[in-house]
Structure 1
Amino acid sequence: MLATPDTDTEADPAFRADVLAGLAEPTPAIPARWFYDRRGSELFDDITRLPSYYPTRTETALLEEIMSEVDALSADNCAVVELGSGSSTKTPLLLRGIQPKAYVPVDISGDYLRESAAVVDKDFPDIHVYPVEADFTKPFALPPEVAELPKLGFFPGSTIGNFVPRSGTDLLRHFRDILGTGARLLIGMDRVKGIERLLAAYDDPEGVTAEFNLNLLHRINRELGGDIPVDAFRHQARWNDILSRIEMHLVAKRDVSFSIDGHSFSFARGSSIHTENSHKYGPRGGRVLLLAGGWTPLREWTDEDGDFALILAEAMPNRFAP
């Protein structure tokens, strides 16, 4: 049974604020969450099916392998809260494996959220579906219908890697506050591996990741009244070894000037807009991140090659709460 949230056709003021502030920084950057308008969400789904993009197929196979254990460690009649919804492969595996009472997908892309929630509602008629259109990095309320149910947060895909460790710790604390003490969280984390494999996953020969990155500029033009010449930028993926992360940039191919919402910006040839980080964690680093964010790791699973990890953790009490 699907509950439909209210919608707002206005451009998101947080999007405008992040873009204008980010492009004015000495090192221009835009938060990666703004990739995911409808087209961006579709392109990311395409990326997950590319031969060079190992995380999705590795995590999906691992999830299939461990599902009976996840089920045994999850509360009966729980509510699955997926933070960033829409995985057409991983979400059904989890819902089929643990058979929760409710499913709460949370996503910033309203159209995509409603479409993916409708698919779940059709495929799982015994599960109550309550989509929440929200930026999961900001405070939001869970539907009252799930208030008394035990919660299992689902944060797959190594999305935690998009956040610098300080922000990742804050995000995990935020999840603990939203889901409540005693809730559980199933989270994906990508592991450190050979640079060639990492770069190939984020700069595929098919050019889909490049289109995904450049789509951010199209979105700015469409929603914020920008006049960015998109063809003046190219996609670039870089490995930052000291920070253990892949970085995605939009690099100016020539000197370029443009305006957004009445604000003017100029980029010299070779300068860039930093659009995404994807941090890679070793086993101990991933556990320390969870502990710092208020979650106690309970079980950890990896694939045979150690490329990817799924960790089940429990929300600890906030000992510093008033």
Structure 2
Amino acid sequence: MTINPVFTNAKPLAAPDARRQFEADVVAGLSAPRKFLSAKYFYDAAGSDLFEAITRQPEYYPTRTELDILDAKGAEIAALLPERASLVEFGSGSTVKVRRLLVHRPDLGAYVPVDVSETFLRSEAQALAVDFPNLAIAPVAADFTRAFTLPEGLSRQGVAGFFPGSTIGNFEPPQATHLLAHFGRVLGRDAILVVGVDLVKDKAVLDAAYDDAAGVTAAFNRNLLVRIQRELGAILDVDGFDHRAFFDPAESRIEMHLVSRAAQTIRLGAHVFTFAEGETIHTENSYKYTREGFRTLADAAGWTPCAVWTDPDDLFSVHALRRL
């Protein structure tokens, strides 16, 4: 069996630059009147492992529900992709979801996973090539939220996008609109985009999904502090912060926070950040949409709805959109 060659088209930040950016973002977030940290820093190696563990918790429905939809409706979804299309997956990570589409479209021209981790990209691409030896695989190491160039030689007549996992919910609605418009510029006119979108539902179900009984999500949240301590040399008490997650119906979003157990400080270089007891660091939002609400958002970004699939309990949705 021949493994397809893999390519890297765009380089991520070099390690020193990435560290400087991480530190600058932490300083900016902890200096804000309402302290925050960017959710993109959750995903170091330990954070990625913890997130995989979260997806296996009984309370966390999104991953298994989306997989169920892709298993049940994968043929219908894949049928919307243009013939010989190049399929671009934004923030690809694991290939577990895209495989549900690839099995129904062996005629795809290429698969282009886009992610910031070049090492993980290569590993996943090589594993995928073993199972799909006739598929051209061209990984792009890049931040999918920023401008990047698709690999040369891809057919511009048939390009499609895949953005599963309800990652769109991690962006404020105006940012989500901007991101979908950005995807449209990357993919071009008449492109198809398949997006996973979590749905509004009972508050108790949502609260439990982000605060599992085993404490895995709590460890995932506190891992941000572990990273800051380990990679930036900050002086802080990781155990001095509790995990808090709750659904805010007015904003239609889950909020995750780290809550200071007592008055304390975090020291990072020359910076000292003081915390009162109960003061929080806002670490993540996860917006939940109605089907109609997401369609309105997509329309504002230049996409028109083609189809939507949900599970029997209306927990999760997969949308197909076409670029206007």
Question: Counterpart of 1:69 in structure 2: which amino acid?
Answer: E
Cα distance in 1 between the residues matched to 2:275 and 2:118: 32
User: Could you tell which deviates more after superposition, 218-227 or 130-139?
Assistant: 218-227
Is 1:140–2:140 an aligned residue pair?
A: no
Change (3 A) 1:16 1:180: farther
Q: Secondary structure at the match of 1:59?
A: helix
Please give the residue correspondences for 1:272-283 in structure 2 after superposition, counting only pairs within 5 Å: 272-283=280-291
In structure 2, what is the equivalent of residue 192 of structure 1? Answer: 200
Is 1:257–2:265 an aligned residue pair?
A: yes
Is 1:271–2:279 an aligned residue pair?
A: yes
Find the partner of 2:133 among 125, 132, 149: 125
For structure 2, the residue ranges without an aligned partner over 5 or more in a row are none
TM-score with structure 1 setting the length: 0.93
Question: Counterpart of 1:137 in structure 2: which amino acid?
Answer: T
Find the partner of 2:15 among 6, 9, 14: 9
Deviations 1:182-213 (A, max 9, x none): 11110011111111110111011111111111
Cα distance in 1 between the residues matched to 2:17 and 2:123: 20
- How many aligned residue pairs are there? 316
TM-score with structure 2 setting the length: 0.92
Find the partner of 1:56 among 45, 60, 63: 63
**8 Å Cα contact 1:38/1:111 also seen in 2:** no
Is 1:90–2:97 an aligned residue pair?
A: yes
Is 1:171–2:179 an aligned residue pair?
A: yes
Cα distance in 2 between the residues matched to 1:114 and 1:227: 35
Quote how far apart the aligned CAs of 1:253 are.
Answer: 1.2
For structure 1, the residue ranges without an aligned partner over 5 or more in a row are 317-322
Deviations 1:22-54 (A, max 9, x none): 111111112212211222122111211211111
Quote how far apart the aligned CAs of 1:169 are.
Answer: 0.6
**8 Å Cα contact 1:11/1:224 also seen in 2:** no
**8 Å Cα contact 1:251/1:272 also seen in 2:** yes
Q: Secondary structure at the match of 1:212?
A: helix
Quote how far apart the aligned CAs of 1:263 are.
Answer: 2.1
Question: Counterpart of 2:89 in structure 1: which amino acid?
Answer: E
Deviations 1:143-178 (A, max 9, x none): 113253522111111111111111111111111111
What is the root-mean-square deviation in Å for CA atoms of aligned residues?
Answer: 1.7
